Structure 1
Amino acid sequence: MDSTPSLKERYAKDGFVIIPGLIPAEDRTELEAACERVIAKTRAGLWTHRRVVGKQFPPYDTETNPDSWGVQHVMHPDLHEPAFAKWYTSDPLVHAAAELLECEEGDLQMELFNLLINPLSHEFALRWHRDDVKETASEEEERAALSVWDHGVQWNTALYQDSCLYVVPGSHKLPRTPEQRAQSATQSPPDDPSEMPGAVQVVLQPGETVFYNNNILHCGTYKSHERRATLHACMGDTRGGSTRARNILQHGLRWMKEDAFRATLNPRGNAMLERLLAMERSVGGHVGYSLD
């Protein structure tokens, strides 16, 4: 009897799992070319939806900061790059997300799709964080937040070798130790991420994907001299109701409501989009809970 843990078992235990081969061979060249074009547009100032060096979360000061570590909204119809939506709705990716979420395809909702890139002239790091739990949370608050399954999965897919991500395995279920809290209850990035107790560096080979719970304790490093084009996205599970709303709808996604975007999607993509729009309608436009 095979005792090898399943993908879901490893994901549940560690908070992350690496899966190779989720980009079909025929799509690889197309995705690489699309990334090169959107990176060039972003660096030239022709695409202003970007993450800027020195700022971890939105809003980003794109007017005065010239260097970027990410490109936002790569499925936006104004970019005219259909390869991204094609891959986001592809069989290998959708099936992997559904397996890790233990849901049916009909439960999956469309969420965010961005691109992580190397800055041109800065060495940059994000601070240690959980995406949906504040660094100032008390142990009791943290324990309560981590006990709630957030019905979503996040991933990085490397087009080139990528060793930027550090995680603390198992921390998606446990509050920080005093030593971990000392290194993460701050707005400052770490001098050396490997000094975080329990941390491991996630090294992705080209074509590999790391799926991770966004409340695992993690940080990212960005080196100007190492080429990076890593597809960074997430999907939700509608069985969670509005639990994903605050974390997803804050990112300025008005364009996802427009017919121009719908026209770029296949039937699977349109069904996933409609589930996202249904979540937005369910929260009634509360502050921070709107695509606008």
Structure 2
Amino acid sequence: MPNEPPYKQLYDEQGFVIIPHLIPEASFKELVDAAECAIARTRSGEWKLRRTVGSQFPPYDPESPDSWGVQHVMHPDMGEPAFAQWYTSDPLVNAAKSLLDCSEDKLQMELFNMLINPESHAFALRWHRDDVREKATEDEERQALNIWHHGVQWNTALYEDSCLYVVPGSHKVPRTPEQRALSSTQDPPENPLDMPGAIQVTLKPGETVFYNNNILHCATYDPHQKRATLHACMGDTRGGATRARNILQHGLFWMKEPRFRDTLGERGKKMLERLVKMQESVNGDLGYSQLN
């Protein structure tokens, strides 16, 4: 990524960075069309793999009438090849390599979901870190934050998106007492900007925010604000068992099916092979079976 801002430096220092233009111009409409089809199938009840209002984390309630996310958009049953094509595209892969500081032969395919606006219910996620429990002591939190998970997570907006709130730099340090008080509860915040140090992240269509998943963050979902944001992650094989614990809990068994592999180009097939290899290397020790 020559002659561009120091994205890697900003990412390391802030815990997040916004990068524009990672969707090739010729691909933007294809992705929007694929996203709208996926959203319509989810809202109609045809697509069952969804995040439901009322649940921040799995398991999601299949009886919930409203959704805030579409899961596994690369699944062959979704029938939208634009998602996998973009996930393995040059601009996105080059950005991931730069932020992970690794070569392409270390990249592994991971999760690809989509965040959407609920149709009729306002919803919010509480302040959290993805891989540090909210009740962790200060010492436990400091120890967890010192572990590099060899992965990068991102949101790419297809429509303007102001849902995400983060506390810059919080991926490096334990919470202050004030921050702990506002993030130790299961309740979403009344006003996310009450969190000391918090900022609201606004993305224009086509912009991507990459963020360390242990940055302190939350999100709000407005049923009156259209949202279709591509939410995914990519890993570095050096993460090993630590990376496996983050990823293999998400029901990726379908990714070992030949009919999924057959939808991928050569780059995608190699990234998938590294994911399967990771699963096979840890399954006996850690008991993960989601890819079996």
| TM-score, normalised relative to structure 2 | 0.97
Residue type at the aligned position of 1:60: Y
Counterpart-to-counterpart distance in 2, 1:235 and 1:265: 16
- In structure 1, runs of 5+ residues without a counterpart are none
CA contact (8 A) 1:251 1:291 kept: no
Counterpart-to-counterpart distance in 2, 1:155 and 1:269: 18
CA contact (8 A) 1:155 1:211 kept: yes
- 2:57 alignment counterpart: 57
- 2:192 alignment counterpart: 193
CA contact (8 A) 1:117 1:230 kept: yes
Residue type at the aligned position of 1:187: Q
Show CA shifts across 1:255-285 (max 9, x none): 0010010000001001001111111111124
Q: Is structure 2 residue 239 aligned with structure 1 residue 240?
A: yes
Alignment length (residue pairs) = 288
- 1:25 alignment counterpart: 25
Residue type at the aligned position of 2:50: R
CA contact (8 A) 2:114 2:231 kept: yes
Show CA shifts across 1:31-80 (max 9, x none): 00000001000000000000000101111111x10100000000000011
Consecutive aligned runs of 4 or more in structure 1 exceeding 4 Å deviation = none
Alignment of 1:268-279 (within 5 A): 268-279=267-278
Alignment of 1:111-260 (within 5 A): 111-260=110-259
Shift of 1:289: 5.9
Aligned alpha-carbon RMSD (Å): 1.1
3-state SS of the aligned residue for 2:127? Answer: coil
| TM-score, normalised relative to structure 1 | 0.97
CA contact (8 A) 1:172 1:215 kept: yes
Sequence identity (%): 70
Measured at CA, do residues 200 and 22 of structure 1 come closer, stay the same or move farther in structure 2, by a change above 3 Å?
same
Residue type at the aligned position of 1:154: Q
Shift of 1:6: 1.1
CA contact (8 A) 1:250 1:291 kept: no
CA contact (8 A) 2:279 2:288 kept: no
Show CA shifts across 1:223-271 (max 9, x none): 0000000000000011122211111111111100100100000010010
Residue type at the aligned position of 1:264: T
CA contact (8 A) 1:69 1:116 kept: yes
Counterpart-to-counterpart distance in 2, 1:43 and 1:284: 35
Measured at CA, do residues 259 and 154 of structure 1 come closer, stay the same or move farther in structure 2, by a change above 3 Å?
same
CA contact (8 A) 1:118 1:226 kept: yes
